[in-house]
Amino acid sequence: MTTAADPQSLLVTLLDPAHRADPYPIFRQIREFGPLRLPELNLAVFTSYADCDQVLRHPASASDRLKSTVTQRLIAEGNEARPVGTPGFLFLDPPDHTRLRGLVSKAFVPKVVKNLEPDIVALVDDLLARADGTFDVISGLAYPLPVAVICRLLGVPLEDEPRFSEASGLLAQSLDPFLTVTGAAGDGHEARLAAGLWLRDYLRTLIAERRRHPGEDLMSALIAVEEAGDQLTEDEIVATCNLLLVAGHETTVNLIANATLALLRDPAQWRALATDSGRAAVVIEETLRYDPPVQLIGRVAAEDMTIGGADVPTGDNMLLLLAAAHRDPAVFGRPDEFDPDRPSIRHLGFGKGPHFCLGAPLARLEATVALTALTRRFPGAMLAGEPGYKPNVTLRGMSELTVSL
C-alpha cells in the first residue's frame, strides 16, 4: 500500500510533467528519507551529496546496463540485449570505455576547445543581431548555438539538422528512468527505439560519404583511426558520433537557458554580469549546482556495495538524483538560493570519476560567450512570461523562455 508521501510514489510523481517547472520540493522530500532501497525493483536511490559522490567514485559502479539484473531478466524473457546496437561509451565500462574515450578525448581538451572561441563568438553575434522586442532565448540562442558547434565539430551538415533534431529529442527522453522507477518502459517506447535506429542509419550514410571525401572533422578522424588498424569498428564510430551528437544537442541548451532564467529572476545578478564578464564562470558553476541540466544519472552495482549505510546487491540499479544532492543542506548553506557569490561552489553537474563529462570545457565556453553577450547587449532585459518545459526528467529543460529585450 503506497501513500502520497512514501518515497516510491514521490519518485513516480517526479516523472509527472506537471512538476517539471519546479521539481525541487519533490527532490527535497525524497532526500529527507535518506538512501532508498526498493528490492522489488532491484533499485537503490541516492540523494545526498556524499552518497552520490561516493557512488560515482566507487570502482564497482558500472555503466554498462547489461550488468543489471533488470536487463538480464528482460533478455531472459526474450528481449534483445542491445535493441539499437552498440551503445556510446557513456554506457560502457573498461576496457572498451577507456579505449573509445581515449580516441575522442583529444578533440575536447581545453586547448583545442579554446581554438573554437572565435567561431562561437561569431555565431552568438549573428544570432543576437536578429534579436529585438520579444525574444525566445531557446529558439533564438540556447538551441541553435550548441547544435551548430557540435555539427561543425563532428562534420554533420547543419542543413540536415531539422531532420535529426526530432530523433535527438526522442533519444534524450530514453534516458528517463521509466523502467527503473515504475517497472514499465513508459509511453512512446517504440517511437524512441525507432528514432535510435533512424539516427544510426543517418550516421552510417554520412560515414560512407566521409570515407569517400574526408574532411577536417572528428568523424573523418575516427574513420582514419578505423582504417589504420584494429582499434575501432564502424559500429563504434556510429555509436560515438551518436553520443556526441545527442550530448551536444540536449545539454548545453539547458545550461544556457537555466542560467538565463536564474539571472532574469535576480535582476541585480543580470546587471552584474552585463558590466563584468569575469562573473560568467561563477554564474555557470552555480547554475550547474542550482538547476543542473542533467538532473540524475544511473549506475549498476558490479559487486555488492554499501553506500551511506545501504547495502546494494550485485546487479541492482542505482539512481543518483544529482538535482537533490546539489541542494543537500549538509553541504550547502541556503541551498535553494541561486548565489554565484557563495564561498565555494561544488557540484556533480558534469558527473565525476571515469565518465566525467568530456564536453565540459566546450559547454563552459559556449555558455560563457552566450551569457556575456546576451547580458551585455541587453542589460535591461526582463522575463516576458513563465517559461515552458519539455517533458524530459533526466535532461530537464525549457521549451520556451521569452524575454522582453
Where along the sequence are the contacts to ligand HEM (CB under 6 A)? 89-90, 101, 150, 243-244, 247-248, 251-252, 255, 293-294, 297, 349-351, 355, 357-359, 362-363
Q: What are the helix (H) ranges across 276-359?
A: 280-290, 322-325
What is residue 124's three-state secondary structure? helix
Distance of closest approach, residue 212 Cβ to ligand HEM, in angstroms: 25
**What is the closest distance, in whole angstroms, from the C-beta atom of residue 255 to ligand HEM in the complex?**
4
In the complex, minimum distance from the CB of residue 206 to ligand HEM, in angstroms, rounded to a whole number: 16
Nearer to ligand HEM, 90 or 103 (CB): 90
Nearer to ligand HEM, 6 or 82 (CB): 82
Q: Cα–Cα distance between 348 and 147 in angstroms, integer?
A: 24
The nearer residue to ligand HEM, 152 or 355, going by C-beta atoms, is 355
DSSP helix/strand/coil, 100: helix
Shortest distance, position 293 Cβ to ligand HEM, whole Å: 4
Residue recorded with cell 534579436 = 131
Tell which residue, 92, 108, 364, has the closest CA to residue 251: 364
- Minimal distance, residue 47 CB to ligand HEM, in Å: 16
C-alpha cell at 324: 537533490
Alpha-helix runs per DSSP H in 93-233 = 96-105, 110-114, 117-129, 137, 144-154, 161-173, 178-182, 189-212, 218-228
Report the alpha-carbon distance of residue 77 to residue 157 in Å, rounded.
41
Burial class (CB in 10 A: 0-12, 13-18, 19+), 300: buried
Nearest residue (CB) to ligand HEM, 368 versus 375 = 368
- Quick one: 131 or 154, whose CB is closer to ligand HEM? 154
State the nearest-atom distance from the C-beta of 190 to ligand HEM, in Å.
25
Rank residues 195 and 288 by Cβ distance to ligand HEM and give the closer one: 288
Give the residue closest to ligand HEM by C-beta.
Answer: 359
Q: Rounded distance, CA 125 to CA 141, Å?
A: 10
